[in-house]
Structure 1
């Protein structure tokens, strides 16, 4: 029996590649204090002493576990649909503990790059990464400048398990994240009323792409490809926009032929309660205040892009 062209395309589609710094995946905050003190030999020795002690899960641990669950049930020898790779400023010896901890938790992580303090972001294109999460803002900004969706995480223990084990749930802010910051510049310069007038007048003109448009597109492809794992993808737009500025956002997604499952136009309401109800595995926002407000309700990453971060 021959595979259909669609099935063959699915079988050979490039995987979604997510690169995580070790402090995003695991709680290495105690060890990092030694590293930040500038004694990398003491840090290396500490990690080796703790080699048999699995690191505690970090803020992106749940995200990694759900991503890798998309590979379950695949035929023997089939390429993975998702790859999680480690991209870390750790030294290679300390990387032993990272891989050992992944094995302890059953995370099928096979690739890792360890740079001993040197900027690791330059390896993102070679890895084919479509998302990079790190606690280092310099690396995150460099990744964004290189065209890779990236966010700075605040290292913290993961929140309690969510109620959707078969769904990968990702929430995005709009302006400066999914969309360019062109409308946000109008708001910052001229105020809310001018922003609303501008967006109403431009309702039929698609917004430019923001840094996370490629990730949303990749997630849509992952969802449409299906698979034996039974895992699904559910996405949400969570934005401070409100009517009439909502229309341009929706029309832009339609023009891109990209769908989101839920859209929340909050008109300035705090996002935390809505995120608590949606229960995302990760939320991305460009505004540090919104990320701080969300962090108690959902794993969150700051996207240092656009006018709010200049």
Structure 2
């Protein structure tokens, strides 16, 4: 039988999203590739410290029990193959033995490999790669590498928080808000409360997590939260949409524009996804966070400058 990743949650992740390679990345940005490569060679046996998405990956891999592979994590990086060797060794040193697949493109665009992988999530410290992945239809987030690391208070529970509009849902309602204001947005959502919102880029991931949640894997659980700027009466359409999808979230926070960071600090997610840069920045001071560069807020935006994408190789 051919090897397949079908029926698994497939997460593709870059080196800098999984491990802390910020010192190496600064050297790459301010010197020549040969110097960077030599540093990685010199540090082949030095395990990199955990990065922003490490806790999420570690807990998801814990769902592979009883000889059943439910989650596949694949390294997908602009790094060179030699640096990739260090990434694999770092994964082994931190007990992530089931990470066995990786693609290292040495600076070339990596997002095309999401298709043969069948990836359901792509996490990268390169904003341009994330944008292209989203354009290709893959759930993807630009990992803010300066985010606070995940809490260790829930070792047997994966906690993931999602924004609503332009993340779980389409940006249909956000377009009304941007063009006509809050009052028109509330009126629009009240009138369409019973009409489900179209899918957003992260709906497939939420659906996959929900199926994994129903498997009742011993000693591991998933807890999800919807954390949105919506408030009553616009909350009804969001909840009706989830019910129409036959997907439940464990918590829902309708914050009416309040800063999300303090609420996320209480929820303690292993990762939070939002399409608004301000919300992600606020969240990142409390929890691991990633920017979903989708929806009307990002239409017509110029290419991401190198300093925002946090480097062009790893």
TM-score of the aligned structures, taking structure 2 as reference length: 0.91
Deviation, structure 1 residue 104: 0.5
Which residue number in structure 2 is paired with residue 283 of structure 1?
272
Q: Please say if residues 148 and 285 of structure 2, whose CA atoms lie closer than 8 Å, have aligned partners that are also in contact.
A: no
Q: Please say if residues 16 and 51 of structure 2, whose CA atoms lie closer than 8 Å, have aligned partners that are also in contact.
A: yes
Distance across 2 between alignment mates of 1:154 and 1:297: 12
Distance across 2 between alignment mates of 1:124 and 1:96: 21
Distance across 1 between alignment mates of 2:251 and 2:31: 46
Distance across 1 between alignment mates of 2:158 and 2:22: 27
Distance across 2 between alignment mates of 1:243 and 1:98: 46
Moved beyond 6 Å, runs of 4+: none
Deviations 1:116-174 (A, max 9, x none): 00000100111121100101111001111111100001113752533111111100000
Gaps of 5+ in 2: 300-314
* 1:209 aligns to 2:199 (yes or no): yes
Deviations 1:249-277 (A, max 9, x none): 00011111111111110001111111011
Which residue number in structure 2 is paired with residue 126 of structure 1?
116
* 1:136 aligns to 2:126 (yes or no): yes
Distance across 2 between alignment mates of 1:198 and 1:101: 50
Q: Superposed, which structure 2 residues align to 1:177-256 within 5 Å?
A: 177-228=167-218, 230-256=219-245
SS in 2 for 1:33: helix
134-143 vs 33-42, greater mean Cα deviation:
33-42
Deviation, structure 1 residue 227: 2.5
Partner residue of 2:156 out of 132, 156, 166 = 166
Superposed CA RMSD in Å reads: 1.4
Deviation, structure 1 residue 13: 6.6
* 1:114 aligns to 2:104 (yes or no): yes
Partner residue of 1:175 out of 165, 170, 186 = 165
Distance across 2 between alignment mates of 1:226 and 1:40: 47
Distance across 1 between alignment mates of 2:26 and 2:87: 17
Distance across 1 between alignment mates of 2:46 and 2:271: 27
SS in 1 for 2:179: helix
Deviation, structure 1 residue 30: 1.2
Partner residue of 2:50 out of 37, 57, 64 = 57
Deviations 1:236-295 (A, max 9, x none): 000000000001000011111111111110001111111011111100000000000000
Deviation, structure 1 residue 296: 1.4
Gaps of 5+ in 1: 1-11
Q: Please say if residues 146 and 284 of structure 2, whose CA atoms lie closer than 8 Å, have aligned partners that are also in contact.
A: no
> CA separation of 1:158/1:26 partners in 2, compared to 1, >3 Å: closer, same or farther?
farther
Distance across 2 between alignment mates of 1:158 and 1:244: 33
Of structures 1 and 2, the one with the larger relative CO (CA 8 A, separation 6+) is 2
> CA separation of 1:217/1:145 partners in 2, compared to 1, >3 Å: closer, same or farther?
same
Q: Please say if residues 51 and 149 of structure 2, whose CA atoms lie closer than 8 Å, have aligned partners that are also in contact.
A: no
SS in 2 for 1:293: helix
Number of residue equivalences: 294
Which residue number in structure 2 is paired with residue 23 of structure 1?
16
Distance across 1 between alignment mates of 2:26 and 2:107: 14
Partner residue of 1:100 out of 89, 96, 116 = 89
Distance across 1 between alignment mates of 2:30 and 2:108: 16
Deviations 1:218-245 (A, max 9, x none): 00011112234x2111100000000000
Q: Please say if residues 58 and 157 of structure 1, whose CA atoms lie closer than 8 Å, have aligned partners that are also in contact.
A: no
Distance across 1 between alignment mates of 2:106 and 2:21: 15
* 1:88 aligns to 2:77 (yes or no): yes
